[in-house]
Amino acid sequence: MTRSILFALIAISVPLLLDYYVFRNWRRFAQERPRFRWTVAVYRVMMIVMPFTLPVYMLYSRWWQVEPKLARAFFIGFWMTYYVPKMIIVGVLMIKDALRFVMWLFGWFQAHLLPTDEAETTASPTETPPLDLTDLKRTSRRQFLQTMGWSAATVPYVLVGYSVFRTLYDFEIYRIDVPLAGLPRALDGLTIAQLSDLHAGSFFSERPMDEAVDLVQSLQPDLVTITGDFVNHDAAELALIMPALNRLKADLGVYGCLGNHDHYARLNDVVERVRATPVDLLVNEHRTLAVDGARLHLVGVDNTGFSQHFADLPGALAGLDVDPHGEEIRILLAHTPTYWDSHVRPGHPDIDLMLCGHTHGGQVGFELGPLRYSLARVAYPRWAGLYEEPRAGGQGRQFLYVNRGVGTVGPPLRLGIRPEITLLTLRRT
C-alpha cells in the first residue's frame, strides 16, 4: 500500500510541476493577446485535474484486465498525449527563459554601460565617440522571445503527429549475432526471425502486418518466432492479421507463444484461430527440430508476469529427448522479460536463449548508439535488445533478447522507438 501511495504522489506531483511551469509561460503570453485570454481559465482547470486522472484510474480499477475494453486505451492514451509533448515544451521553455535572462543582462548593459543621449550631446568634438549601440534599445526583446518560444512549443505536437502517421509502422530490422559456447557446428549460422506484440487491434488496416511479413520473408530465415500478444483484447481483431500470418513460412517452421493480452480476449478463440495459420502455438510444450544431426529444442510457455501465472516451464520440458553427446541447444519463447530473471536463470541454466517482447521498447524514448533511454526502463531493467548473464553454476552464459514489438498499446504512438523485426543469427564460440 505504501508503494502505491508513493507512486500516486510521484505521478501527481511531477506532472503538476511540469504543467505549472508551462502554464506560467502561457499565461504571460495569452494575457497580452485578447483572443487567447479565455484559454488561461481552461488551462488552469486542466492543470489541476489532469495529474489525478491516471493515478486515480490505476489505483481504483482493475486496469490490467482491460475492462471495460477501451478504458485503459482512453485513460493512458489521453494522459500521454497531454503530457508527453509538455515534457519537450518544458525543455524549449527552459531555453527560452535562459535567453530571457541573457537579454535581461543585455538590458542592464544598455542601461548602465551605454552612453546616455545627454552625454552624447556634451561630448567634445575632439574626443573619440564611444561605441554607438543605442539602436539596440529599440529591440522588443519580450515580444521576440514570446513569439519564438511559443512557435517552438508547437514542435512537440508536430513530432507526436509525425510519430503517429510516419514512424508508427516504419519497421526497423535488427540483425543480432548470439554467441553461444558449445553451439553444435550444424547450427552455426542458423537464423531466427522474431516478431512480437502484434496487437492486431492497434492496426488501422491489413497493410502494416502485410509489410512486416514481406520483410520477414525477404530475410529468408531458417525459423520464424512470434512471442505473444497477437491481439489487444478481442479475438475478432485477428481478422486484420490472419491473411499475413497465413503467408509466413520458413524451412524449420513458424512458432509462437501467448502473451498477457491474449488472455484478456477469449483465449480459446485466440488459440484456435492462430493455430489455423502456419503458426505452431506452443502453450507449455516443446518441439525438437533436427538439423544435420544436431537438435534444436524450441520450448514455448504461456505468460507469467503482469499479474498472470500461466507458464509451466517444467511441464513444457517434460519428455524432452536429451542428446547424450550434447549436440543440442534450447531456445525458450516466453512473452515477458521478467520471467528470465524470476524463473529461467535461477532454475533452468539449460536454457541457452530466451526470446520475448512485452515492453514495446516503451514506444517513447531514444536510441543513439550507446545512449539509450525509454519509458519502459522505469518498470523493466531489460527493456530492449540482447542481454547476457552467467549461468547458474558458472557453465557459460545465458542470453535474453527483448523485442521492441510491432504493434502498440494505449495511444497509437511511437516516438524514437521504431517497431522491430529481428533477425538473430546463432554463432559458435
Of the two residues 8 and 173, the one the predictor is more confident about is 173
What is the number of other CB atoms lying within 10 angstroms of the CB of residue 366? Answer: 11
pLDDT digits (tens, 9 = 90+) for 60-110: 776 555 545 556 666 766 777 788 778 778 877 787 777 777 777 766 766
Residue 137 pLDDT exceeds 50: no
pLDDT digits (tens, 9 = 90+) for 290-302: 999 999 999 999 9
Band of residue 159 on the pLDDT scale cut at 50, 70, 90: low
- Domain shared by 202 and 59, yes or no: no
Q: What integer best gives the mean pLDDT of the chain?
A: 84
- Domain shared by 148 and 202, yes or no: no
List beta partners, residue 428: 180
- Domain shared by 69 and 108, yes or no: yes
H helix and E strand count, the chain: 13, 14
What is the number of other CB atoms lying within 10 angstroms of the CB of residue 13? Answer: 11
According to the model, what pLDDT value does residue 8 have? 67
The answer to whether residues 231 and 238 touch, using CB atoms and an 8 Å cutoff, is: yes
Query: Residue 215 and residue 194: Cα distance in Å, rounded?
Result: 11
- Domain shared by 9 and 80, yes or no: yes
- Domain shared by 266 and 374, yes or no: yes
- Domain shared by 143 and 252, yes or no: no
The answer to whether residues 237 and 269 touch, using CB atoms and an 8 Å cutoff, is: no
- Domain shared by 304 and 365, yes or no: yes
- Domain shared by 201 and 327, yes or no: yes
Q: C-alpha grid cell for residue 231?
A: 491481439
Band of residue 136 on the pLDDT scale cut at 50, 70, 90: very low
According to the model, what pLDDT value does residue 397 have? 95
Q: Is residue 133 part of a domain?
A: no
Residue 111 pLDDT exceeds 80: no
- Domain shared by 222 and 144, yes or no: no
How many Cα atoms occupy the beta-carbon half-sphere of 204 within 13 Å?
A: 7
Residue 153 pLDDT exceeds 60: no
Q: Is residue 22 part of a domain?
A: yes
Q: Which helix (H) or strand (E) element contains residue 57?
A: helix 38-59
Band of residue 315 on the pLDDT scale cut at 50, 70, 90: very high
Q: Is residue 158 part of a domain?
A: no
Strand 397-402 versus strand 385-390 pairing type: antiparallel
Q: C-alpha grid cell for residue 41?
A: 481559465
At 340, which CATH number?
3.60.21.10
In three-state secondary structure terms, 410 is coil
Band of residue 195 on the pLDDT scale cut at 50, 70, 90: very high
Q: Give the best-scoring range by mean pLDDT among 156-160, 260-264, 325-329, 374-378.
A: 260-264
Q: Is residue 82 part of a domain?
A: yes
Q: C-alpha grid cell for residue 114?
A: 551605454
Task: Give percent above pLDDT 70 in the chain.
Answer: 79
Q: Is residue 125 part of a domain?
A: no
Query: Residue 120 and residue 123: Cα distance in Å, rounded?
Result: 5
Residue 134 pLDDT exceeds 60: no
According to the model, what pLDDT value does residue 157 have? 57
Query: Residue 280 and residue 286: Cα distance in Å, rounded?
Result: 10
- Domain shared by 71 and 190, yes or no: no
According to the model, what pLDDT value does residue 115 have? 56
According to the model, what pLDDT value does residue 393 have? 78
Query: Residue 82 and residue 16: Cα distance in Å, rounded?
Result: 12
* 395 Cβ neighbours under 8 A, 6+ residues apart: 349
pLDDT digits (tens, 9 = 90+) for 209-227: 999 999 999 999 999 999 9
pLDDT digits (tens, 9 = 90+) for 383-394: 999 999 999 877
Mean pLDDT, residues 316-325: 90
In three-state secondary structure terms, 419 is coil
- Domain shared by 197 and 299, yes or no: yes
According to the model, what pLDDT value does residue 326 have? 83
Single out the residue of 21, 159, 32 nearest to residue 95, CA to CA: 21
The answer to whether residues 180 and 427 touch, using CB atoms and an 8 Å cutoff, is: yes
In three-state secondary structure terms, 189 is coil
Our count of domains for the chain comes to 2
The answer to whether residues 237 and 201 touch, using CB atoms and an 8 Å cutoff, is: yes
* 274 Cβ neighbours under 8 A, 6+ residues apart: 230, 238, 245, 256, 281
Q: What type of residue sits at position 42? A: V
Of the two residues 100 and 130, the one the predictor is more confident about is 100
Residue 165 pLDDT exceeds 60: no
According to the model, what pLDDT value does residue 252 have? 98
According to the model, what pLDDT value does residue 91 have? 77
For residue 187, count CB atoms less than 10 angstroms from its CB and return exposed for 0-12, middle for 13-18, buried for 19 or more.
Answer: buried
pLDDT digits (tens, 9 = 90+) for 341-356: 999 999 999 999 999 9
Q: C-alpha grid cell for residue 399?
A: 542470453
Q: Is residue 130 part of a domain?
A: no
pLDDT digits (tens, 9 = 90+) for 367-383: 888 889 898 988 899 99
Residue 323 pLDDT exceeds 80: yes
Q: Is residue 166 part of a domain?
A: no
Show the domain range for 102: 2-112+139-153
Q: Is residue 132 part of a domain?
A: no
- Domain shared by 276 and 378, yes or no: yes
Mean pLDDT, residues 329-349: 96
Q: C-alpha grid cell for residue 109?
A: 548593459
Q: Give whole-number Cα distances, 62 to 17, 66, 207, in Å.
A: 28, 7, 33
Q: Which residue among 120, 153, 186 closes a domain? A: 153
Q: Give whole-number Cα distances, 121 to 115, 118, 128, 129, in Å.
A: 10, 5, 13, 11
Q: Which residue among 104, 124, 153 closes a domain? A: 153
Q: C-alpha grid cell for residue 328?
A: 543440442
Single out the residue of 186, 189, 257, 265 nearest to residue 232, CA to CA: 265
